[in-house]
């Protein structure tokens, strides 16, 4: 994830034209929210009932699909809508970091 963040910072500043301060705040806020969100998601997954596919199979399948869709939005989202690229970058980066850990 660290390598992805380094390349994503270069992509957002050089190619998408976002301000470096905005990108830095994006990464900082996402890490803080991720630290608050991870115990809650872990608690929800631990309390899921066992199915015939296993205890963690459904969160892995859903997380993999969400991770793939969010990964596309992470790169193409700011380029599709130039007027709201910072908002799209915030939403896509935060959801992709959460779904990336859920999908693994």
Summarised one tens digit per residue, pLDDT across range 17-56 is 889 998 889 888 888 888 888 888 788 878 888 888 787 7
Total Cβ atoms within 10 A of residue 86:
17
- 0.85 exceeded by pTM: no
Quote the domain boundaries for residue 12. Answer: 2-103
Residue 11, helix vs strand vs coil: helix
Burial status of residue 96 (CB atoms within 10 A of its CB: 0-12, 13-18, 19 or more): buried
Q: What is the mean pLDDT of the chain?
A: 81
Buried b (16+ CB within 10 A) or exposed e, 23-46: beebeeebeeeeeeeeeeeeeeee
For the chain, give the percent of residues with pLDDT over 70: 91
Number of domains making up the chain: 1
pLDDT digits (tens, 9 = 90+) for 40-49: 878 887 888 8
For residue 98, pLDDT over 80 is answered with no
User: Please, what is the Cα angle at 95 between 57 and 26, to 5 degrees?
Assistant: 150
């Amino acid at each position: 994830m660290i390598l992805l963040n380094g390349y994503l910072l270069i992509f957002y500043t050089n190619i998408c034209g976002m301000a470096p301060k905005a990108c830095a705040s994006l990464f900082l806020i996402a890490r803080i929210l991720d630290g608050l969100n991870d115990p809650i998601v872990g608690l929800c997954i631990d309390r899921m009932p066992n199915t015939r596919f296993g205890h963690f199979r459904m969160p892995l399948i859903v997380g993999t699909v969400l991770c793939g869709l969010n990964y596309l939005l992470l790169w193409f989202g700011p380029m599709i809508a130039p007027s709201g690229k910072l908002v799209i970058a915030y939403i896509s980066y935060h959801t992709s970091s959460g779904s990336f850990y859920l999908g693994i």
